[in-house]
Structure 1
Amino acid sequence: MLPKLLLASLTATATTVSAEQVLGVYIFHRHGDRTSKAWPPVSLTPLGAQQVASSASFYRARYITSSSSSSSSENSNSTTTIAGISTDAAVLSQLSITAPVDNVLQNSAAVFAQALYPPSKSAGSQKLANGTTVEAPLGGYQYIPVNAVASAASSAGSESSAWLQGSSGCSDAVVSSNSYFLTPEYLDTLNRTHGFYQDLLPVINTTFNSTTATFKNGYSIFDYINVATIHNASIPSSSLLTNSTLETLYDLASTHEWNLAYNASEPSRAIAGSVLAGQILTALEAIAEPSSSSSSSSLAPRINVQFGAYGAFMAFFGLAQLPAASTDFYGICDYASSMALELVAPSPDRTSPDDLSVRFLWSNGTAAAHGLKEYPLFGQEKQTTTLSWNDFKAGMNKFAVASTQDWCSVCGNTDGACANSTDASGSPSAQSSSSSDKGSGSGISRPVAGVIGALVTLGVILGVEALVLLLGGLRLVKKSTLAGGAGAGGAGATGVKA
């Protein structure tokens, strides 16, 4: 009898220990299916809205409804329902849903919000003092704001621009991305694939011509054909679009965009990923370490959702070394793809920062169809898909940009908001690891260096002029003297005479 009781006690203890508790999550989500960038204005399609809605329903089942449970076999007794989350009525203090100023991304976020917390009669009725019950319109539609933020990881209007850094505003990122077009790798691919793109002209000649049908427009051409294969029942010369051709188009577009979004030796190029990392860290830190955060843990949003463009995914993947876990992270992600970072406690009663951990999950395409798969961050061993909170924070801090000063330093900007983000010496107060922000260790800021450079140039020009005058036997005289007193120049004008 005693051994049985002891076994039961040990089993109960094991169950308690394995009962993980999700405290919060940060979800970064791509928009759903949309129209082609080649034909603005770009808009979210009904298919795209459905993709996003199904993804939101998946996340609702995982994090909100009481039936949520962990998919991990070793944590079969755990729950993925977020601690204290409201299951029916949306509590706005528990949610943060953001997107840049962009029609496709804003509309995707709005759809996601409504599927995450669908209309609820219990959430949409109110009893007045006179005893009258008022039902909210639209069947209990829940008004969940989508905040349009300028500091989102993806830039404003990103879905209307074919250029990845088009409106990032980050000077060094634009320069860094442009430098890819001068590399031997790019030039080799441009020449090697010229015939491939020219052969596709019968398919794309309503939008591209023999000059623009090249690898330089690799993403735009892929996007144009990809949208057509989804929505057009009749495509000109469709016989050219074999499976092999479509795969090559995708691979070339992925190569093109990866090199514009990330370069290991130039941190500024991946500014979108750095900004996203800063936002993720700030949001989860508010839950994990309320004492060091500006907001109380009880007030910090538990579900953070940001919508953005594929380029921000690529930049973050590169910075977080995710291609080491799978080469799939090099490619352009599908519509409605999402990644989630869960903040997890080993049990509901162990929530100190030293006890917490973070896991990264990814779905290429809508999570409703593909589910979520765990991957290791920062080049960890493939079986290490969970990091301690402290290790996660240390890894993210290596590349996260979480303030205007950090952004200005990485980007090399000195105007606008960056004009006020300086220290007493006049240089950006947050130091960047990018060598472009530092003048050989001199500590001279960019504005001062520019003034010095201009003065040096002026001095050189004046010196050369003096040398010419001296050696050539020339002298300065008034133009009036040259004209023999005929008034051919202003009284103060000068000329050169031999």
Structure 2
Amino acid sequence: MSHPEVHGVVVIARNGDRTQSWQDPVSYKAKGTTSTPLGEVQSHQLGSFLRKTYLDRSSSSHIRGISTDLVDLKEVHVRVKVGSEGASVFDSATAVLQGLFPPNEKNRMTLANETTVVAPLGGYQYIPVETVEPVNDRSLEPWTDCPAFQERVKKIQNSDEFKKKEQDAQKFFRTLKDFVFGMPTTMENMYNLHDYVSTQLIHNKTYAHRLPPTYIEQARGFADWRESAIFGDSQMNGIGNIASRTALSSVLRALQRIAFNDDPLQFMLIETTYHPFISFFHQTQMVKNHPELKAIPDFGSALAIELRRAPPPDAREFLRFKFRNGTDSDFQTVHVFNHHEDIPLTEFIYRLENSVINSNSEWVRACRTSSATSWLGLPESASDVTNGNYMDIVLSMGLFFLVMLLCWSGSQAFKRYRRRNYIRLGNEEVGMPTAQVVNYGTEKPRLTLSS
């Protein structure tokens, strides 16, 4: 095959270093974190690396026809997960974009009075991003508030394999107690243990000097095993792969847009946390040939999906996958579905189409939840309505109208009450007397009137 040209790229990036994160071992709801200067540097380095790879005309992976100096907002789209770890993910996306499209003095304009104005900070380029909040859009955080996923977590943690792994870790847990200061040393809590040790090792000099050798490697190994078991499902459409099943909806739509000649989109960035990486590697069967991917990716990691078009007479679209773990390595080409070369776009879509979750209504069914508070109550397409995918929303709307009817009935009853119990004197309403039962000691009750 001749060298195909890169026509566009979808990049899934993990946020950079941040303060300690804690997430519930079952629901995976996490407390807020903030990015650190180190994390911002990591993400900026990733952006610079992507610029050198895809925007430098001398690069073999240069995206054909893309604007390189000043960003063309029609060619670039950015989606940012702002649920768990939202602040650090958003800051990371900003830093990536700063490295991808650095300040440029060409970012200027001339006013009517012939005054030239250069954008702040030497021509800083402001690139809008689409923030994806789980309250409205489940595509980048589908694992929280998902009963089916929580059932899976509990099932795994009750499995013999999990219990055996926890037994194997007991010796390590006994020695780790002195370095986690009261945190539960269990396999169930392994992600939080690793995150605490890792965060302290990076940011706490005293802690770093005390931590014995191999402790961070052991903590990382057990955490990798647990998260791979939770977020990696052997079934392509299994609930364990839900993190990538929803994210792939954005990926496939972007690839189809890039492949369409009349659509200007050429670069899409999805900034997120570690969860969809693990699921994607399992769902696309990358882990079969690359078992090292059964792990939590480092901060600043990126998976690039390149759409390459072969020269005529073939002119088909192929996908090439490249993974960069952290900021200290180069892209490594990895293969999906046991391919040993680029995969046709059509085959990739065909293999995945029955497992991808394309809408919030499909997420509701996959999670086996009837909650109507996690999505907007409007159809996302006409086909969703005709296919009957919005039964839950219809029921919710019915409940809404029932409440409105009850409120209307109550207001009518109140009006009738006023007509019966009030008389109008001039411009003033006076309450009519009402009957009360009064009982004085041993006397028989008698009626009195009171205003």
> Shared topology, TM-score over 0.5?
yes
- C-alpha distance after superposition, 1:196-217 (max 9, x if no partner): 2122111111x51xxx122211
- C-alpha distance after superposition, 1:104-133 (max 9, x if no partner): 10000011111100001112x111223221
Shift of 1:41: 4.4
1: CA distance, partners of 2:49 / 2:209 = 39
Aligned to 2:228: 258
Aligned to 1:234: 206
Alignment of 1:207-356 (within 5 A): 207-208=182-183, 212-235=184-207, 238-239=210-211, 241-243=212-214, 245-265=215-235, 267-288=238-259, 290=260, 297-347=261-311, 355-356=316-317
2:42 partner SS: helix
Asked if the contact 1:198/1:214 (under 8 Å) is kept, the reply is no
2:321 partner SS: strand
Aligned to 2:51: 60
* Identity level (%): 26
Shift of 1:61: 1.1
Shift of 1:412: 2.2
Q: Which amino acid aligns with 1:189?
A: K
1: CA distance, partners of 2:7 / 2:161 = 45
2: CA distance, partners of 1:427 / 1:282 = 20
Aligned to 1:93: 74
Aligned to 1:105: 89
1: CA distance, partners of 2:239 / 2:390 = 15
Aligned to 1:29: 13
1:374 to 333, 336, 345: 333
2:281 partner SS: helix
Shift of 1:419: 7.1
2: CA distance, partners of 1:424 / 1:48 = 46
Q: Which amino acid aligns with 2:297?
A: C
Shift of 1:153: 4.5
1:32 partner SS: coil
Alignment of 1:30-45 (within 5 A): 30-38=14-22, 41-45=32-36
Alignment of 1:45-56 (within 5 A): 45-56=36-47
Asked if the contact 2:201/2:208 (under 8 Å) is kept, the reply is no
- How many correspondences in the alignment? 373
Mark the runs of 5 or more structure 2 residues left unpaired by the alignment: 24-30, 396-451
- Residues 298, 113 of structure 1: CA spacing in aligned structure 2 closer, same or farther, 3 A cutoff? farther
Alignment of 1:87-236 (within 5 A): 87-101=68-82, 102-123=86-107, 125-150=108-133, 151=137, 153-155=139-141, 165=143, 168-205=144-181, 207-208=182-183, 212-235=184-207
Asked if the contact 1:202/1:237 (under 8 Å) is kept, the reply is no
Q: Which amino acid aligns with 2:228?
A: W
1: CA distance, partners of 2:32 / 2:377 = 34
- Residues 109, 419 of structure 1: CA spacing in aligned structure 2 closer, same or farther, 3 A cutoff? closer
1:200 partner SS: helix
Shift of 1:19: 4.5
- Residues 23, 110 of structure 1: CA spacing in aligned structure 2 closer, same or farther, 3 A cutoff? same
Which segment drifts farther, 21-30 or 193-202?
Answer: 193-202
Aligned to 2:362: 406
Q: Which amino acid aligns with 2:89?
A: L
TM-score by length of 1: 0.70
- C-alpha distance after superposition, 1:255-313 (max 9, x if no partner): 1111221222471221111012221111001122x3xxxxxx44442110111111111
Mark the runs of 5 or more structure 1 residues left unpaired by the alignment: 1-16, 70-79, 157-164, 291-296, 430-444, 446-498
Shift of 1:56: 0.9
Greater relative CO (CA pairs within 8 A, separation 6+)? 2
2: CA distance, partners of 1:181 / 1:19 = 48
Q: Which amino acid aligns with 2:77?
A: S
1:139 partner SS: helix
1: CA distance, partners of 2:334 / 2:37 = 31
